[in-house]
Structure formats: structure tokens, C-alpha cells
Amino acid sequence: MLYKTTLSIAHTSVILLSLITAISCFELHLPQKVSHIVDSLQYTCGQFLQKQQIFALYNKQNFTEIVNQNIKGIEERVLSELLEERLENESQNDYYTANSQNWPIDLDQYSESFVIRITSEDEFIKYLIFKEAKALHISIWEQSVGLIDLKVDRDQMHRLLYNVESRILERRTRSVDSPVSEYKVQLMIGDLPQRIYETYPSTKVTSLQALGEFPSFQNLSNAFFEDFRTLETIYDWFEEIQKEFPKLVSINWIGQTYEGRDLKALHVRGKHSGNKTVVVTGGMHAREWISVTSACYAVHKLLQNYADGHHKEAKYLDKLDFLFVPVLNPDGYEYSFNEDRLWRKNRQETYMPRCFGIDIDHSFDYHFVKSEDLPCGEEYSGESPFESIESEVWNNFLNRTKEEHKIYGYIDLHSYSQTVLYPYAYSCEILPRDEENLIELGYGIARAIRKSTGKKYQVLKACEDRDADLLPDLGGGTALDYMYHNRAYWAFQIKLRDSGNHGFLLPKKFIYPVGTEKAKLFAAPESLSVFFGKTRHGHGDGLIFDIYSMHGWSLFRARFTYHDQAMPELYGAEYRKE
């Protein structure tokens, strides 16, 4: 009897507290004493439902019902928007009306999938989403400050949201006064097959000759950049550009991929040899086609403007060499054209049967981290550094040509999110040897892009973009850190357009504007002047940089000149928080 009375009192208290809160949400005039109770409980209208649910959790049988109720509205809204998008597309003359025999690849493999974006400033929520997405083998498209984009099907979305919401409510039952965890879910891409269909060339072109005859190289290049191109077509274009500019361009053979394809680079130089070299790579992740075309377009505009007598391009090419590797992952790139548009890794075998590929961008030796992913996972980094064939041959190439290519700058093109990232990726606890100048140059790059097309690019430390301190395996073994620590004075990863509407599936109409943004990097004084030693603290061939004693960072000031013997002194320099 006493037990029932106590339980009844507890339930009555819960009801009264919930009623008081509900009344307050309608902004009614309450007695002063009651208002004080409401204020002390820190209730808001947005928190009311969650607080009410926490009390109800004392009855454990309601847990599943509460969680499902919480996520029901999210699921219904997302699926309703998905259906609306697909119904709208069905009326167009596109994927839905095309004969499946004319599809570039099997598009039915994406029919159940869509892309969602989850935003939250809560570190606990972000950690939950990462871990649950990994556990459910969900494809993580993008993770950055406050957001994560995921390719899911209906079942994956339900299980993800259920698991995340369950963990949130479990935390709340342990402490009713714990912070309210908030996150938002929105549909980013509902009709994935249609979006993929739109990225493929309008006609199947497997070689440059198939584009037809053109009166000039300029006309040929104009046709070349109208679509995303296959590897063979790109390498054909290499040959044509070398023929057009024989004194400025040479083709370097880097090595062979796992499947035996050639890995090639374009060496672009002016009148003088032995200059400082800026390395530009693209296509490290197979599905990021816009990084490939942007690297090619930068070559095209650099040479065209040089030939036309543009002063800036002539100045840079006479003082800087450029090494362009538009496709650092040839096997994966070809596979994305012929089998799976969303493929990320290379195509080499792993220790697990029927699981192919290593993420090249996590396979370098600088702070390599063995991934938690199994070999079938998209971010599987291999069992040891340089296990990826492409990263190994790239490292070997740089070793054997280090006298020819004295690397001073590195730009690694990726997509997507419109960000300029500087080292380090593996940890935010490590301060780069010249962070101030990296930031200055990063903003110079962002300004050059904005001046050319009006698009805004964020400037971030790479570890912040990758949440490396939250999940360390996300930032280990990157090309950015490897090149910066071992090879180059300056290194950046630039994630190209867009900011989320298209993700990796940027339509071909963006090839020119995004390519223009990258080409402007080599014509804007604020983005390349640092390679000549002109920075806030230095002039000519000398450079002074400061790392100020702020927020616990050590003060460091150094002066060096651009001579080879200075490189060993700079390489490996790291400065930790005190």
C-alpha cells in the first residue's frame, strides 16, 4: 500500500511539473511562486517535450515508444521531400525516360539511397553520429564543423536516428540537468540516380579523337571541358597540350597503379629550369571528378595566358615550376566511370575477399593510423603506411626527382565543402611551424577565389575539418601532412564546390566556373606571393615568421632563406601546446 501511495505521489508530481511547464509555454500569467519554479527548472518551450519524456522514462516500457515518437516526424518529413523530388524528376526527359541500356552504369544500385545532412554544435551528438554511422557501414560524404552528410537508405536512417536518440535519452535519464542535445536532419539529395545520371558525359567518349576534328587547340580544349572525361581522354589531352607547348610542357611518368595503369604528371615550366616547384594533385578520391577537371583547367589557363603574353602568368612560370597530377587514383577514377559513380578508394585487393581498395589519402607514412574500418569500408587506410600502390609510387617518384623538383608548395584538390585547409590534419594539438603564414596564404587563396566568382571559401586547420581529435583515425596518414612535413614549405588541401546541394555530384555546367576559381590561384598576387618569400614579416628571399604566445602556445620566431640546406632544419618542426 505504501509503495502504491509513493508511486502515485511521484506520478502526480511529474504531471504537475509537466503541466506547469506546458502552461508557461503558452505565455500565460502565472503566480510568482509558480513562475519561479519554472525558471529554476530552466524550462523553455523547445525543451518541454524532452523534459516531459525524461520523466516518463522512469517507466522503462515507454523507452522504445518515446524514441520512435521522437524520430517519427523527422523520418516522415525527409521521406516526403524525397518522394516530392523524385515525382518532379519523373516528368523530365532524363534518367527516368532514358532506356536502361543507355545508362552509363547500373543506376538501379542507387534507387534506395539518398543523402541527408545532420547539423549540430554538440560534440556529444557529433561523436554519436560518427560512431553509429561507422557501425552501420553508412557512407560518410562530408564531415566538417557542425555538420555531417551521409548517404543512407530508409532502414539505415531509421537505425541511425534510433540509436542516436536512444543514447541522448539515456544520458538524460542519468542526469535530468544535463544539457539539452539538439540536432537537425534535412534531405540533401533525394533522387540520387537522377543526380548521378546528370554528371556523365552526354555522349560516350572514350578518347580525345572521338570528340572530332577541331581547327585549333583552343577549340579542342573548349570541347574537352564541356564534360567530365575518362582517364584515356585526359591522357590524350596531355599529349595534345605537350604538342601545343613543347617548350613549356613535359609529361612525367610516375609509375603504375595496382591494375597496371600509368600514373602521369604534367611538368609546366617557363624559361628557366630548376625553379621552385608547386605540386598540384587531384582525383585522389575517385568520385571527386571536379578536382580532376579543375587541375586540368588550371593547366590550360596557365599556358594559354602565358602564350597570350599575360604578365602575371609569364612572371610566375619564369620563376616557378608546376607539377600537375590531375588523377592520382587512375584505377578508382576509371571504376567510378564504369561501375560505381560513388567509389572513393583505389582498386587493389585486401586481406578480406571481395573487399577492394585502400583510401590513398590515409595511406601516407606521416602519423599513419590503422583505420577502424574493415577493408570494405570507404576510409580503410590499409594495414601499414604506403600499402596503397599509388601512394608508394608517388613517394618513390618524389624521392628520385627531388633534385629536379624542389618542392616549395603543395595544393591537393578535393571536393566538397568550399574550404581551404592547412596542416595538420592528424591533430589539433600540434602547431605547424609557420601557422601564421599558412593562415595568411589560406586567406589569400580564399580572396582570389572570391574575386573570380564571388564564392566564399572557409579557411580552417585540417584537423578541425576532419574532427581529428574527436576520432583520430579520420585525420591520420594524409597527403597534406606528409607533403608539409617531409616535402614542402607550404601545403594546402582545397575542397572545391559545392557547399552541399550537389555533394560529389556537381553537374558539368560547373566545370568552367570551378576551374576558373583554381586557375585564378596562379594569377592572384595574394595567393602566390608567399612562394617568393614575400609575407607580412619578410621580403625577397628571406622570411621571418612569428608564432605568438596566445592561448598557451609557445612563442617561436625564426628566420630562414630559401636554400636547400635550410630544408632539414624546417622539416619535422612541431610546436605543442604548453
Instruction: Please state the length of the chain.
Output: 578
Residue 13 predicted with pLDDT over 80: no
pLDDT at 190 over 70: yes
Q: What's the rounded mean pLDDT across residues 6-10?
A: 47
Find which of 173-187, 205-219, 375-389, 521-535 is predicted with most confidence, using mean pLDDT: 375-389
Instruction: Give the alpha-carbon dihedral of 148, 443, 438, 126, to 10 degrees.
Output: -10
- Provide the pLDDT for residue 524: 56
Among 15-24, 51-60, 344-353, 458-467, whose mean pLDDT is lowest?
A: 15-24
CA distance linking residue 165 with residue 163, whole number of Å: 6
For residue 292, report the phi and psi dihedrals to the nearest 5 degrees. -70, -50
**Going by DSSP bridges, is the β-strand pair 490-496/406-415 parallel, antiparallel, or unpaired?**
parallel
Q: Are 291 and 282 in contact, with CB atoms under 8 Å apart?
A: yes
Q: What is the pLDDT of residues 37-79, one digit of tens each?
A: 333 333 344 444 555 555 555 455 578 888 898 899 999 999 9
Distance, CA of 63 to CA of 260 (rounded, Å)? 55
The whole-number pLDDT of residue 527 equals: 54
**CA-to-CA distance for 413 and 402, rounded, in angstroms?**
22
pLDDT confidence of residue 221: 86
Look at 179-183, 263-267, 275-279 and tell me which has the smallest mean pLDDT: 179-183
Position 128 pLDDT exceeds 70:
yes
Contact (Cβ atoms closer than 8 angstroms) between residue 415 and residue 497: yes
* Average pLDDT score, the chain: 80
Range from 33-42, 279-288, 505-514 that averages highest in pLDDT: 279-288
pLDDT at 528: 54
DSSP string for 82-142: HHHHHHHHHTSSSTTTS-GGGSSS-GGGGTT-EEEEEE---HHHHHHHHHHHHHTT-EEEE
**Highest-confidence segment of 268-272, 300-304, 472-476:** 300-304
Taking the C-alpha atoms of residue 452 and residue 454, their distance in angstroms, rounded to an integer, is 6
pLDDT at position 347 is: 98
CA angle 190, 192, 196 (to 5 degrees): 145
Residue in 64, 54, 144, 94 with CA at minimum distance from that of residue 459: 144
Which of 172-181, 316-325, 541-550 is least confident?
A: 541-550
DSSP for 357-395, please give it.
---GGG-SSTT----SS-TTSTT---SSTT-SHHHHHHH
CB neighbours of residue 431 within 10 Å: 19
Q: Is the pLDDT of residue 165 over 60?
A: yes
Q: Model pTM?
A: 0.81
List strands edge to edge, sheet with 458-461. 249-256, 262-268, 320-325, 276-281, 406-415, 490-496, 419-422, 458-461
Strands (E) across 462-518 are located at: 490-496
479 vs 99: which has the higher pLDDT: 479
Cα 552 from chain centre: 29
Does pLDDT of 137 surpass 80? Answer: yes
pLDDT of residue 180: 61
Residue 574: Cβ within 10 Å count: 12
Q: Where are the alpha helices (DSSP H) in 419-477?
A: 435-453, 462-466
Instruction: Identify which has the larger pLDDT, 309 or 531.
Output: 309
Give 318-352 pLDDT, tens digit per residue: 888 999 999 999 999 999 999 999 999 999 999 99
Q: How confident is the model at residue 414 (pLDDT cuts 50, 70, 90)?
A: very high
In terms of pLDDT, which residue wins out, 6 or 273? Answer: 273
Window from 24-28, 166-170, 320-324 with minimum mean pLDDT: 24-28
Mean pLDDT calculated for residue range 9-23: 47
Task: For residue 308, give the DSSP letter.
Answer: T
Residue in the structure block whose three cell numbers are 501511495: 5
Q: Which domains does the chain have, with CATH numbers?
A: 2-56 (no CATH), 60-199 (3.30.70.340), 208-462+491-576 (3.40.630.10)
How large a percentage of the chain has pLDDT more than 70?
75
Q: What is the pLDDT of residues 551-578, one digit of tens each?
A: 333 333 333 333 333 333 333 444 444 3
